[in-house]
Chains A and B, each alone.
Chain A
């Protein structure tokens, strides 16, 4: 176990217990952990987005490694710009071009998303923030086109197909397999559940009775979702505690135990001082 791993374990334990300390009450340890999380996440996602998308897929297409000598005024000027960027940021723009499997010819079309991206960043300035709308419009249009078909096909048509259940060649009731009763439950539940969301007609009379049945099915589904949500959260908690138990071992110099004790003592002092201030 090297020093950086052990130090890392102590940092991880401090941050974990700092977040958990919120369960006692909002306190400086929690605030420290929370603000560190905010800052580190922003930097982390920025680095991930840049090195996995922008550098390989945008710059890698605008300035791919050329095949042999560059010729022509346009190409020489284009790679001249690249060399200038490379002088300022050699890590992002290595010598000769960026080789990420996008061929050897620049994809000039990618100047558009680059420009749209820069415009998006300008929304920091209140005067030029309207430029960001162009990039956002592209994103919105793209997402709308992709999702419209995909959701209609899989979530609507696929599900309607799945609701077209069979009532032949099966027992009337079965707890574990297919049966007429089970298929009837699914069919009735799906239709009445959908009807509940039809608000163009008032839910009264016979229609009201049908939608009542629908809400019962929806409540059963929400109850199941609640059960699964509890299950998921408890599983994550088990994961964190397992981690803390590992870091509480002798390999990591009992990090969890020491940090917990120190935090309890400091929180007790902080609470006591706070109570004294309130009392006076």
Chain B
């Protein structure tokens, strides 16, 4: 019971206190533990959590296949995908480099090398000639298989050059451009993750059309602020004349007059008077696109962005900050026990 309940709470409390006081204590041993080791342990445990996630995923998909549940074929595909990325990460190095250190006749070596680096033979020959004495030239893109790299090495050696194969170090293979893992990252992982994000653009547009209705004043403020930001921050906003916005404001105010007084004469007077006033002012000023500045979308957007928007965002940020502080203290003091399932 102690191990299952009290020990985790004790660990959270001890580590929490140590890390918190590490900000204020100047003692070298504690500071060194808090600044270096404690955060390293955190990251190592986060990595194990990642492994756990993968294991759980495999377990769930395997159960689906074994029990032949609906869509089990797709679960098999998920496992195939996992197997491929696991293989690229842990089993197949997928990154073998070919290095050329010497050549007798650069033209002959260039005939082999040119097709490997997708250049014409003359440019390839120039690259070899420009190579300083004692240096090695490494083909930019590594080969997925040892056999592939060895084939190229053989061909270059047969053409009078001296080439050798160097396998990328395990660990570095995940960040080497052109390795199998990197291929998977560029052509499978990246398109999928980027497209999942990009898909939301369509749903945002659909929501804008079907769901964002002005039901009350707060919703009106939200939408107007959103519209001003959306138009003001892009180049097209700079091409919308301030006078166009002024006309819209006159019409909106007239709608307000109508709602307030419910009198046709007043409404008519407001519309005609407002439109006339704006038109006369426009003629006098010569219809400049960016004046009056307060109705010019980019300037208005900037003002909203830097003032009322910051006020609201700051209120939320302070609220969140206080909330995180309070919750952290609750975890450290052992009041909050949700992480052990209570």
Contact = CB atoms under 8 A, between A and B. Distances in A.
Chains A and B share a contact (CB less than 8 Å): yes
B48 A117 contact: yes
Given A144-B331, A145-B17, A186 B192 contact: no
Contact of A134 (B11, B191, B230, B304): B11
B4 A130 contact: yes
A222 interface: yes
Given A47-B85, A155-B321, A197 B45 contact: no
Interface in A17-31: 19-20, 22-23, 31
B236 interface: no
B230 A136 contact: no
Contacts of B222: 219-220, 222-223, 226
B19 A145 contact: yes
A141 B321 contact: no
Contacts of A152: 321, 325
B295 to A, nearest CB: 11
Interface of B is mostly: helix
Interface in B190-206: 190-202, 204-205
A8 B183 contact: yes
A165 to B, nearest CB: 11
B183 A4 contact: yes
Interface string B317-339: 11111101101110110000001
A135 B12 CA distance: 9
Nearest to A8: B187
Contact of A35 (B41, B75, B201, B327): B75
B196 A148 contact: no
B54 interface: yes
Contacts of B321: 151-152, 154-156, 159
B245 interface: no
A124 B86 contact: no
Contacts of A219: 218-219, 221-222, 225, 312
A38 B78 contact: yes
Nearest to B5: A133
Given A137-B9, A217-B311, A223-B222, A243 B48 contact: no
With a 10 A CB-CB cut-off, give which of B118, B190, B328 has the most chain A CB atoms.
B328
A146 B39 CA distance: 9
A188 B312 CA distance: 10
Interface of A is mostly: helix
Contacts of A13: 191
Given A36-B81, A236-B198, A221 B308 contact: yes
With a 10 A CB-CB cut-off, give which of A45, A92, A152, A221 has the most chain B CB atoms.
A221
Contact of A50 (B4, B16, B47): B47
Contact of A233 (B38, B39, B200, B226): B200
A88 interface: no
Contacts of B51: 46, 49-50, 121
A223 B220 CA distance: 9
Interface in A118-149: 118, 120-121, 123-124, 130, 132-149
B316 A221 contact: yes
B171 interface: yes
A231 B205 CA distance: 11
Nearest to B234: A231
Nearest to B34: A145
Interface stretch (A51-59, A74-82, A266-274): A51-59
A91 interface: yes
With a 10 A CB-CB cut-off, give which of A43, A124, A189 has the most chain B CB atoms.
A43
A35 B80 CA distance: 9
A215 interface: yes
Interface stretch (A63-71, A108-116, A202-210): A108-116
B331 A141 contact: yes
A137 B12 CA distance: 5
B318 A155 contact: yes
A175 interface: yes
Interface in A165-192: 175-176, 182, 185-192
With a 10 A CB-CB cut-off, give which of A46, A53, A136 has the most chain B CB atoms.
A46
B22 interface: yes
B38 A142 contact: yes
Interface string B293-317: 1100001001111111111111111
B192 A33 contact: yes
Contacts of B16: 140-142, 144-145
Nearest to A109: B37
A193 B316 contact: yes
A117 B9 CA distance: 17
A53 to B, nearest CB: 4
A103 to B, nearest CB: 12
A138 B71 CA distance: 38
15 contacts: A11-B187, A41-B189, A43-B81, A43-B85, A43-B86, A138-B42, A140-B339, A145-B328, A146-B19, A192-B315, A223-B223, A223-B225, A227-B230, A230-B226, A231-B233
Given A50-B90, A159-B321, 15 more contacts: A11-B187, A31-B74, A51-B170, A116-B41, A139-B45, A141-B16, A146-B19, A147-B324, A156-B318, A159-B317, A175-B302, A215-B218, A221-B311, A230-B230, A236-B198
